[in-house]
Structure 1
Amino acid sequence: MTEYRTASTRSADGTTLGYRMLGNGPAVLLMHGGMQAAQHLMKLAAALSTEFTVCVPDRRGRGLSGPHGADYGIARETEDLRALVEETGASRVFGLSSGALVTLRSALSTPGINAIALYEPPLSVNGSVPLDWVPRFEREIASSKISSALATALKGLRIEPAFARIPRLALVPLMTIGARLQRNADVPIPALVPTLRFDVQLVEELADTAPDYANLKPRVLPLGGTTSPAYLRTALDELSTTIPHARRITFSGLGHSGPDDGDPPRVAKTLRTFFLD
């Protein structure tokens, strides 16, 4: 297990933002995605910790951090990231999935950020991100059917091709077993699945906002994998076209979970080069 220390700060609305720290050197923030917490980026953090002080927050609603709050939205998330930048002194930020959306939006208005790396932000372009599964997901969450809701989300988002091939009747029991196996995780699956509704809110709120980033000042590194769904490649295509100085890199054989359980050292090698440039 990777050793780390913990710290916290407060966002503009008073919400506690807890984060893990490891390594030494210039500060880097790693922002996790949906149905995740800081625990999911610790392999990536460990791989970067030889050159950087790596700070891995639990985004609000998870782990060491406070609740989402009644007025949750991208404004709260950008306030959170700004507070973390000010507290840690990080000028480099990596975001995965919805964490990449937060990173991208925050780079518009957060002084001090000079480099961002974005791994497959689900930026919807003319309705490209599939959301037709959300009503069923919401009903299952309301009925406390966590495994069913997880299966609905995985099939709807098509993040992992293997899950798409498994019949739903078989997938739901598998999700139940998986949740039991990870019940000792810092933030277990049953606590993470309901948070996805808030990440969906970000996707909806930021749909078709790619033109907003045409004059983005920080250096930008769009990242993705060859096995990820087409709508994530669409988002990267749009951002790479919109942001003139963006340098795009595609990892052969990796999917959406590349920075998590795909090949964190490989992703870290690219991030190290970009952040030290």
Structure 2
Amino acid sequence: MTKLASADGTLISYESIGTGPGIVVLGGGRVAGRGYRALAWYLADSFTVHLLDRDTRLAGYSIDRVCDDVITVMAETGSTRLFGHSSGGLVALETALRHPVEKLAAYEPAVSVNGGLPQDWLPAFEQAVADGRTLEALARQVKGLKVAGPFSELPLWLIKTMIAFTLRGERRQGYVDVLPRVPAEMREVLRLDSDGLRYRDTAAETLLLTGERGPAYLLNAAAVLNDVIPDSRLVELPGLTHDAPNDSAPAQVAQAMRDFFAA
């Protein structure tokens, strides 16, 4: 694990896997960088994948500071390629507006278009985080954002039970470590709600990936982004859900990334 200081002096860290041109990976809002190790290993024969632990600030959170972190790692590693998942996709897009990025891939970026991103779940989620009720918070996020396909439609108590059964050890600790910064991040996502034209000046060659079973509002956002970003293409991956890059299908996502970044 490499540690370095960001522009405001905050200590940030990243893990590097593989050999070749660099790709900086920005995970979703509730997943630590180590949650993308499987994705990295599928790319490691051709690329050096840098898994960034995005933003550890619990005060003064802003998208500008997070983008500064990304730019710091890009400069340190000489990387000109970015991959972002969910809110990490939003950070990747915002970084590309501030810093030269050669190629940008994003899987279901958490961009709110015309108020499309759900927010009625957020107050109860924020309270659960403040109270340290990790399972409650995760269940409310899964159900509120509909990021787990049909699983998201189950009763809240059943989602909590299933999360408790599957989320153990280091994997659970990763969520515990990251969760306290998610409320501020979600507020930033909502603050950046737009009609999508904010990204029309994106200069990076852009690949927008979606899963066939992803949330409808994110699939719509990706389609809007594809229309407004000058050099972009949109690819839907059959059968995949929102958690494909870090959980259910890293191999399929890695293959789509490999083809794009190698071209």
TM-score range, shorter chain: over 0.9
Q: 1:54 aligns with which of 29, 49, 58?
A: 49
Offset, 1:71: 1.7
Q: Distance in 2 between matches of 1:52 and 1:163?
A: 34
Matched, 1:137 2:122: no
Distance of 1:40 and 1:159 partners within structure 2: 16
Report which stretch shifted further, 88-97 or 186-195. 186-195
Deviates more, 1:167-176 or 1:44-53: 167-176
Q: Could you tell me how far 1:186 is from its partner in structure 2?
A: 8.3
Query: For structure 1, which runs of at least 5 residues remain unmatched after alignment?
Result: 1-5, 62-67
Amino acid in the other structure paired with 1:168: L
**Deviating runs (4+, > 6 A) in structure 1?**
none
Deviations 1:42-75 (A, max 9, x none): 11100111001111111122xxxxxx15221101
The one-letter code of the counterpart of 1:85 is M
Indicate how the Cα distance of structure 1 residues 195 and 70 shifts in structure 2: closer, same or farther if over 3 A, else same: closer
Deviation string, structure 1 residues 145-181 (Cα, Å, up to 9, x no partner): 22112111111011112433322233323333444xx
Aligned counterparts, 1:178-189, within 5 A: 178-179=166-167, 182-185=168-171, 187-189=173-175
Alignment of 1:151-170 (within 5 A): 151-170=139-158
Superposed CA RMSD in Å reads 1.6
Cα offset, 1:256, TM superposition: 0.7
* Equivalent residue number for residue 201 of structure 2: 215
In structure 2, C-alpha distance between the alignment counterparts of 1:120 and 1:49, rounded to whole Å: 23
1:18 corresponds to which of 13, 17, 21: 13
Equivalent in the alignment of 1:3: none
Shift of residue 264, structure 1, vs aligned partner: 1.2
- CA shift digits 1:207-241 (9 cap, x unpaired): 11621221211101111111011000111011011
Counterpart check, 1:88 vs 2:77:
yes
- Residue aligning to 2:211: 225
1:204 equivalent to 2:199? Answer no
Structure 1 letter corresponding to 2:92: T
CA distance in 2 between partners of 1:165 and 1:216 (Å): 35
Distance 1:247 1:264 in 2: 20
Cross-structure match for 2:108: 120
Distance 2:107 2:74 in 1: 19
Give the match for residue 79 of structure 1: 68
**Counterpart pick for 1:263 among 244, 249, 254:** 249
Contact 1:122 1:231 survives alignment (8 Å): no
Query: How many residues of Structure 1 are paired with residues of Structure 2 in the alignment?
Result: 263
Distance in structure 2 (CA, Å) of the matches to 1:21 and 1:254:
26
Distance 2:73 2:83 in 1: 13
Post-superposition offset of 1:14: 0.5
- 2:163 counterpart letter in structure 1: M
**Which segments of 5 or more consecutive residues in structure 2 lack a partner in the other structure?**
none
Q: 1:7, CA displacement in angstroms?
A: 1.1
